[in-house]
Amino acid sequence: MSDTLVLAGDIGGTKSSLAFFRGSPNAPEAVTERVYRNHEFASLAEVVGRFHADTGLTAATACFGVAGAVLAGASHLPNLDWELSETDLAVALKLGSVRLLNDLEANAHGIRTLEPEQFFKLNPGSPHPGGNQALIAAGTGLGMALLLHDGPGYRVSASEGGHADFAPRNQEEVGLWQFLTARFGRVSVERVVSGRGIEAIYDFLKDGGMAEPDGLAMQLEGAADRAAVIAKAGMSGEAAICAKALDMFLSAYGAAAGNLALMALATGGLYIGGGIAPRLIDAFPMSGFMAALKDKGRFGGLLGQIPVQIILEPRTALYGAAACALRQCVSKS
C-alpha cells in the first residue's frame, strides 16, 4: 500500500493538516489524517517528520497547499517565518518529488473532488458552458483564485487579489477607508473582507459613536477570536453595532466577489470558500452580499446569471493537494 500513497498537506498560519491519500485524482481517499500546531515546530520538514513517525507510513510524492505566494517552487510564510522550497523539502523528506501550491490554488483544485451536498447554493444562476470560474475565500486573510476553462477541464491560476486596493462605494465606506488609512496607511481589500476586517469594521462603528453593550465589551475583552463574537452577536441581533458590522462586512464581501467575477469573466460559476462563510450561512441569503455582487452598472445582468455557491467542506484545500499529488503519480506511471 505504501507504494500507492501520496502525502498531502494544508499548511496555514497556525496549523498544518496532513494526510496520506490513495485513489484517483477525482476522488482521493484519505487513509489517515493528523493536525499539528505550527508553533511547536521549527519547519515544515519537522512537522512532516512527526507525521511519518506518528503513522509509520511513507509516500513517494507530496503536495502542500501553503498560506503564501509560491514563486518558482518556493514560498515564504510570513506568519510563521518559514522558508519553503520544493527541492529542499524533497531532499529533507526523502521524497521523489514535492509540489507547493498557494492555499487558494489548492482549494480550487479541491472543488472537483466535492459532492453536491458539500455546497450551499446562494444564487442558482445559469452557468455558461465552457465559462471560466473563480474562487474567493475570506478567513484570517482574503484569498482568490481563477479557474480558466481549458478544453476538457480547468487550469487553476493562483492570485494575490486580496491585496488589491479597497475601493469604497459610498460615504460610509469612505469613512471606513479613512479610519483604516489612519491605522495602516494603505488599505487593501483584505483589511475589510477578512476576520480582521470584521473587527476593523466594528472598531470603526464604535469609534463613530455606536453603543457597545457592557456585556459585549466584556466578551470581546477576553475573546481569542473577536470576529467570531461580533458575528455571533450580529446574527442573533443582540447588539445593533454587531448587526451593522456584519451587514457592512457581507456587503463589502459581495462587492469584492463581484469584482473578481468580472476580472475572471466567471460565467461558469463563482465559489465562496474560507472559514467565515460556512459560519455565516444563515446570514448570507438575507444580507446585501448578492446585491453588492451584482451592483456593477452595465454588467449587473451578467453577474446575476453567475451561479454562486458556498463551499461547506473545510478540508477542500487538503483534498485539492491530494488530487494534484495523485495526478503526478498517474502522469509518471
Residue-wise pLDDT for 9-60, tens only, equals 999 888 999 999 999 998 999 999 999 999 999 999 999 999 999 999 989 8
User: Is 2-109+315-332's fold the same as 116-311's?
Assistant: no
Q: Which is higher by pLDDT, 330 or 86?
A: 86
Q: Among the residues of the chain, which ranges form H helices? A: 44-55, 86-93, 103-110, 171-184, 195-207, 214-221, 226-236, 240-264, 276-279, 289-294, 300-304, 316-332
Q: pLDDT tens digits for 247-258?
A: 999 999 999 999
Nearest CA-CA partner of 297 in 266, 323, 260, 258: 258
Residues 6+ apart with CB under 8 A from 10: 16, 17, 64, 65, 103, 106, 315, 317, 318, 321
Instruction: Please report which confidence band the pLDDT of residue 2 belongs to, taking 50, 70 and 90 as the band edges.
Output: very low
Average pLDDT, the chain: 94
Distance from first CA to last CA of the chain, Å, rounded? Answer: 16
Sign of the dihedral defined by the CA atoms of residues 5, 6, 12, 16, in that order? positive
| pLDDT score of 106 more than 80 | yes
Q: What is the pLDDT of residue 332?
A: 63
Q: What is the pLDDT of residue 152?
A: 83
- Right CATH for 2-109+315-332 from 3.30.420.40, 3.40.50.720, 3.40.190.10, 3.30.428.10: 3.30.420.40
Domain boundaries, the chain: 2-109+315-332, 116-311
Instruction: Please report which confidence band the pLDDT of residue 81 belongs to, taking 50, 70 and 90 as the band edges.
Output: confident
Angle 161-165-171 (CA atoms, 0-180°, nearest 5)? Answer: 135
- Right CATH for 116-311 from 3.40.1410.10, 3.40.367.20, 3.40.50.11740, 3.40.640.10: 3.40.367.20
